[in-house]
Amino acid sequence: MLYSPAFLTMALANLFTMSSISTFFLFPLFITGHGGTKADIGIMMAVFTIASILCRPWISEMIDRLGRKKCYTIACLILSLLPLVYLFFNGDISSFYIPLLFVRIIHGVGLALSFTSVITYIADIIPKDRLNEGLGMFGVTALVGLAVGPIIAELIIRQFGFAIFFITSSILAIIGLLLHLPLMESYVQNNPGSASPSFFSILKNKRRIFIVLLAFFFGFGLSAVFGFLTPFAEEKHLAFISLFFIAYSAGAISMRFFGGRLADRVGEGRIIPYAFIITSVGILMIIFLGGDLMLILSGFISGSGHGLLYPCLNAIAVRNEPQDIRGKIMGVFTGGIDTGIFSGSILLGYIGKWFGFQVLFLVAGLTLFMGFGVYRLQAATGAWKT
């Protein structure tokens, strides 16, 4: 059964956890409000992901050996406590720059552990013939969280300031922690002391390397949307920035309700190239941002591409892989996304500083279009299947 009690409970927990994480889409406002620049935004958003990249081999091994649910519990604890640490940062950003970097690193580890363990848990309990549908529908809770978090954050920041914002983010993660605690583990390794392929040996397979490359392109595009859309919209004096995230989530969710079943019928390989194009077009539209209508349209189109692309890439990554290394497989896949986000945060931060936000989103959109080109080239040769 796809929609089992365990599936629904973890989906609800994920909704609150992702809401907590997505409140930090407005964290660039905290940086600029304390004297930070576009480059500072890029650096602070980047260290959040570089930590998850560097710790990915360790947490992937941990998920396979310790258990998916136990690792998600640890992640929720980190995500519950870390927002409260931000309460101690006051004054000009130069006075607490290094400590803030350190906190962002720990926060990033919590994100990586949460993201990788929960999606591995869900992949374990989804029927194989409904993999795309299951991953897609589970992702709906994350997408709703992506929309709800920024709305809550923006309203609280405007009415009460950043102190209440950080406390609210912590409370959301605590709810996610409490909800999933009664669940059983989805997979327990029969012989924990037995030899298992290392994280890096997983990457020797050409098919997996190809999937990591596609995940990288996807992550690069995400870094533009979730790292730089907020300050660009603020620069354009748009009143309600969260309209973009609402439209983004609406587009992604609408695709999940029929895209997953379609991908299970025709194969995710037929969906991926078009999903790259749709996502690219949505991000390129941000270049022409000038009012709420374009904010909504660009959000809906790029979100629709996301709604198709992510579950299909995820399904390709995990399909037919042994369960005892599934944590590492998910680590490789999500690590590719995080590497793209990290690279995009740094590179696009400096592009924005030197050339402006419009060139920044142009580069991000064209990078996603490269994903389409690479996929078509590799699919034509059949390399991704080996």
* CATH number, domain with residue 231: 1.20.1250.20
Q: CA-CA distance, 202 to 249, in Å (whole number)?
A: 33
Is the residue at 192 inside a domain? no
**122: phi then psi, degrees, rounded to nearest 5:** -70, -40
Structural domain that includes position 346: 5-183+204-385
Number of separate domains in the chain: 1
Is the residue at 189 inside a domain? no
Is the residue at 221 inside a domain? yes
Sign (positive/negative) of CA torsion 360, 112, 247, 277? positive
Furthest-apart CA atoms within the chain: distance in Å: 59
Q: Provide CB contacts within 8 A for 79, sequence distance 6+.
A: 17, 20, 21, 107, 110, 111, 114, 173, 176
Is the residue at 218 inside a domain? yes
Tokens of 192: 């924990």
Task: Say if residues 284 and 232 touch (Cβ distance below 8 Å).
Answer: no
Is the residue at 193 inside a domain? no
pLDDT one digit per residue (tens) for the chain, 386 residues: 677 889 999 999 999 999 999 898 888 888 888 888 877 887 887 788 778 788 888 888 888 888 889 999 999 999 999 999 999 998 888 888 999 999 999 998 998 899 889 988 998 888 877 777 888 888 888 878 877 888 899 889 989 999 999 999 999 999 999 999 999 887 776 665 555 677 777 777 777 888 888 999 999 998 898 778 888 888 887 767 778 888 888 888 888 777 767 777 777 778 888 899 999 999 999 998 888 888 899 999 999 998 888 888 888 888 777 777 888 888 888 888 878 888 888 889 889 889 989 999 999 999 998 888 887 777 655 555 55
Is the residue at 188 inside a domain? no
Predicted structure pTM score: 0.77
